[in-house]
Chains A and B, each alone.
Chain A
Amino acid sequence: MIHFDNVSKRYPNGHDALSHINMHLDAGEMAFLTGHSGAGKSTMLKLISLVERATRGEVWVNGRALSKEPNRKIPYVRRDIGMIFQDHRLLFDRTVFDNVALPLVIAGTPHRDIGRRVRAALDKVGLLGKEKLEPIMLSGGEQQRVGIARAVVTKPPIILADEPTGNLDPELSGEIMSLFQQFNQVGVSLLIASHDLGLIARMRYRTITLKGGNLVSDGGSV
């Protein structure tokens, strides 16, 4: 589903964020991406979502070689990926419903299907009664769950999460992680960047560790 083939990324300022990364994530696989800040976690996620392009090597996402995708095709690559952010990145001038509906609207889903699918996604994250509220009225954990509902509403084959529990207490973090497990059980591939080693250890999933732009370990739970 996600495949890194000898990928290096050097930023224009000369900083080598990733060097010679080889990594493969199967369809339906869930893995954690860990390492200190600056180790290259975010860069890897950016390469997958085409926020950045690899300097060398090839990144494959859902069968597409990203270096061959022109800029105007980027939106279609991103529609295969549900993205979850540490700071939620919700739109605060519209309701929870409209936030979750946005990917469907962008994809041109017929109006009559949108309501049903948005409610299904909100139901999954336990926010069904809050669709008419504005994000600002919700707690941090609830906002993050709105972000997750938005990421899964189009049923993408891949979910990328960048420090999804960074601002949450352990109990809420656990809830978020069990949501991820549920998505994984229905066949979604997940790559979760996190430096919450305790949480990762409890989860017992494959863990990919980066250090200074190099892949230093890839395997079972740390």
Chain B
Amino acid sequence: MTQGQPSDKRGATTGKVSSGTRLKLYLALHRAEMRTSYLQLIKTPIATLMTIAVLGIAIALPAGLQLMLKNANTISADWDGVSRISLYLRPEIDATEADDMLLRIQSRLDVETAEMIDKQRALEEFQNLSGLGDALDQLDENPLPVVIEIIPTKQFSTPQASQLMVETFQLIPEVEVAKLDLEWVKRLYYLLELIDRFILALATMLGLAVLLIVGNTIRLAIQNRRDEIEIIKLIGATNAFIRRPFLYTGLWFGLGGGVIALTLISGTVFWLAEPVNQLALQYNSQYFIQGLSFPEVVQLVLFSATLGLVGSWVSVSRHLKHINPK
């Protein structure tokens, strides 16, 4: 027997009723089907729990890593995740010329902000940061150049783009040295991109695992109910009718797995919050670990439910057509 065509889906309704009544009947049927498949699952609580726990762990792994990545991104954003370019001007450039230059740079489209640090301020900052305060006081003359600090716009913050900007600035005659600050920004950027891809690969594999687990569980359920399927086929059930409870079972598995994954992730975040805060305090940071936001929670559960549904759909389509009454 071939699989039912789309028109088959209306097979459970009779032609005698109006389309409004038909829709009501259809919805009532689905509600009943959802309830029945749910009751069927909680009849064997241990087996069901074990299945959804496996699904939950498989989903929690990539989702948890994704959350970690989100936290890492937040940290790097706190530290000016954008790159910063410093232009050290030639010592002979005076304040007026430097002001002119600052204006020119500020008007560039790829520059978000540009700020001048004059000789005096540079010295003060250096004294504060280096801890060489008193020693520097001994100097007759301020040896520090005027510095223009540039933060590129978001679009030009990638390592490649800001590297190009540095090369352009280097060509300006007044500039002694143009330097891209914080090599680590570059490294972090690549690292995060690497982790991002790794998570995507992991999520793909574990998503596939979820499909297979649901598919296999549904296959066993179909085999257990083989006689029943033959009987209801004999008394006129369409494939859509037979498929429905299995699809709902898959949907419940997916939803259950999603909830378990959510619990695992939330528990882990709660478990990590205290040490993360302690660590952040050591760095004088007000950083708090971030949990899943509400849209992310919805996304996770929906994604998981969809996997459950797709897994059971594939399995039912494959196995149902081999069951025919004898």
User: Does A75 lie at the interface of the complex (its beta carbon under 8 Å from any beta carbon of B)?
Assistant: yes
- Given the interface pairs A72-B5, A89-B234, A106-B232, the reply to whether A111 lies near B12 with Cβ below 8 Å is no
Interface residues of A (CB under 8 A from B): 49, 51, 70-72, 74-76, 78-79, 83, 89-91, 93, 102-103, 105-111, 150
Are the CB atoms of A106 and B234 closer together than 8 Å?
Answer: no
Are the CB atoms of B25 and A75 closer together than 8 Å?
Answer: no
Are the CB atoms of B237 and A75 closer together than 8 Å?
Answer: yes
Are the CB atoms of B1 and A83 closer together than 8 Å?
Answer: no
Are the CB atoms of B11 and A76 closer together than 8 Å?
Answer: yes
B1-41 vs A, Cβ < 8 Å mask (1 yes, 0 no): 11011011001111001000110011011000000000000
Are the CB atoms of B238 and A75 closer together than 8 Å?
Answer: yes
B7, B21, B235: which has the most chain A beta carbons within 10 Å? B235
- Given the interface pairs A71-B1, A72-B2, A89-B231, the reply to whether A108 lies near B236 with Cβ below 8 Å is no
* Residues of chain B at interface, number, CB under 8 A: 32
User: Does B326 lie at the interface of the complex (its beta carbon under 8 Å from any beta carbon of A)?
Assistant: yes
What number of residue pairs across chains A and B have CB atoms under 8 A from each other?
68
Q: Is the interface of B mostly helix, strand, loop or mixed?
A: helix
- Given the interface pairs A78-B234, A83-B235, A150-B235, the reply to whether A72 lies near B8 with Cβ below 8 Å is yes
17 contacts between A and B (CB under 8 A): A51-B234, A70-B2, A71-B2, A75-B11, A75-B237, A76-B236, A79-B236, A89-B231, A90-B231, A102-B232, A103-B236, A106-B12, A106-B235, A107-B12, A107-B236, A108-B13, A108-B26
| Chain A residues near B21 (CB-CB < 8 A) | 110
Partner of B14, one of A51, A70, A107: A107
| Chain B residues near A79 (CB-CB < 8 A) | 235-236
Residue of A nearest to B33 (CB): A105
State A110–B12 Cα separation when bound (angstroms): 11
* CB-CB nearest 9 A-B residue pairs: A79-B236, A108-B13, A78-B236, A108-B12, A75-B238, A106-B237, A71-B2, A75-B236, A71-B1
